[in-house]
Amino acid sequence: MSVLVYTESDQGKFKKAALEAASYGKAVAEAMGTNLVALTFNANDASELGTYGVEKVLNVNTVSVFNAKIYADIIRQASEKEAATVVILSASADSRYIAPLLAVGLKAGYASNVVAAPSSLSPFVVKRTAFTNKAFCNTEISTAVKIIGVSNNSFGLVENMTTTQLEDFSPNLVNSSTKVTSVDKASDKVSIADAEVVVSAGRGLKGPENWGMVEELADVLGAATACSKPVSDLGWRPHSEHVGQTGKPVATNLYIAIGISGAIQHLAGINSSKVKVVINTDPEAPFFKAADYGIVGDAFEVVPQLIEKLKIFKAQN
């Protein structure tokens, strides 16, 4: 018996979401009185996982390009080799792509968007978000093997220094007729999925030429930039920045909304962010009802000041 966590890396470096998944896995393994094993692909320094309680790492060096079907089958093989009864993945785009394929391969029940450690092991019950963050659903997984997708920034990083044993793992590779032909990814920018802070702006900014200050604020905070649906529909910003129900989901520690009124579809997409700050000229904007902190004011006056003050703050802290 064991708990297996798939720890995703990007160019050899573990994603924060992967370390969070490992922290979650450790909590489950401890509750079950068993070991935590991680599966990695091409990791530079797999021993880093020892910080989060991973006792054994299976590292795969024989696959260089991501393919959901092949990855899912490798995780299945690792799960069977380690006799894993719980398999943990993060909420990254790739992990969400893999998990349902893995669930069928392992004949395992799968709960996604899980926000807390299991409330009970027998029956096995986890809490997940549902109704686009308007509710939580306590879900029982009734299969022998269980798959959990952990939401970003929900369980958090929990250090648990452990000696890690490294092992090279050479799985069989299944065939796939799906091939990646090109990747278009900005390497110098923080992605919305990986960000701990997101700075988002709406139509209140009046035009795409005014986004300089949004980008500067994001820079100061090490944040990703995002936008509301009207802004992406108008073509002021790329669709990939659209957050909300039909755009990207956001679950950050801090979400700053500038000139966004707060339509229900927008709020649904960003609601699981922990702390929300709104800056808007209209005190009646619905966003003020959903936010923790608010400034009623003109973004063109408030944001430049905020940038200056944050620069001073960052220099001192």
Partner 1 sequence: MKLLVCISHVPDTTSKINFTEGDTKFDTNGVQYVINPNDEFGLTRAMWFKEKQNATVDVISVGGPETEPTLRKALAIGADAAIRVNAEAIDGHTVATYLAAAAKEGTYDLIIAGRESIDYNGGMVPGMLAAMLDANFVTNCISLEIEGTNATAVREIDGGKETVSTVLPLVIGGQKGLVEESDLRIPNMRGIMMARKKPLIVVEPTTETSETHSVSFEKPAPRGAVKLVEADNIDELINLLHNEAKVI
Q: Are strands 35-41 and 2-6 parallel, antiparallel or unpaired?
A: parallel
Q: Which stretch binds partner 1 (CB under 8 A): 44-52, 77-85, 109-117, 158-166?
A: 109-117
Does 176 contact partner 1 by CB under 8 A?
A: yes
Distance CA 102, CA 123 (A): 22
Using CB under 8 A, count the residues that bind partner 1. Answer: 95
Site for partner 1 in 114-143 (CB under 8 A): 123, 125, 127, 129-143
The DSSP secondary structure of 5-67, one letter per residue, reads EE--EETTEE-HHHHHHHHHHHHHHHHHT-EEEEEEES-S-GGGGGGBT--EEEEE-S--S--
Closest approach, Cβ 7 to partner 1, in A, equals 15
Q: Which amino acid is it at 95?
A: S
Among 7, 35, 112, 164, binds partner 1 (CB under 8 A): 112
Among 110, 169, 211, 236, binds partner 1 (CB under 8 A): 110
Q: How many CB atoms lie within 10 A of CB 293?
A: 12
Does 109 contact partner 1 by CB under 8 A?
A: yes
Among 16, 97, 157, 219, binds partner 1 (CB under 8 A): 97
Helix (H, G, I), strand (E, B) or coil at 223: coil
Our CB check for partner 1 shows the closer of 41 and 55 to be 41
Among 34, 116, 194, 216, binds partner 1 (CB under 8 A): 194
Site for partner 1 in 249-308 (CB under 8 A): 253-254, 264-265, 268, 271, 274-275, 277-278, 288-298, 301-302, 305-306
Does 99 contact partner 1 by CB under 8 A?
A: yes
Does 173 contact partner 1 by CB under 8 A?
A: no
Run of H or E including 112:
strand 109-114
Angle between helix 93-106 and 68-81 (nearest 10): 50
Angle between helix 299-316 and 212-221 (nearest 10): 20
Site for partner 1 in 14-53 (CB under 8 A): none
Closest approach, Cβ 88 to partner 1, in A, equals 16
Rounded to 5°, angle at Cα 126 from 124 and 131: 140
Does 170 contact partner 1 by CB under 8 A?
A: no
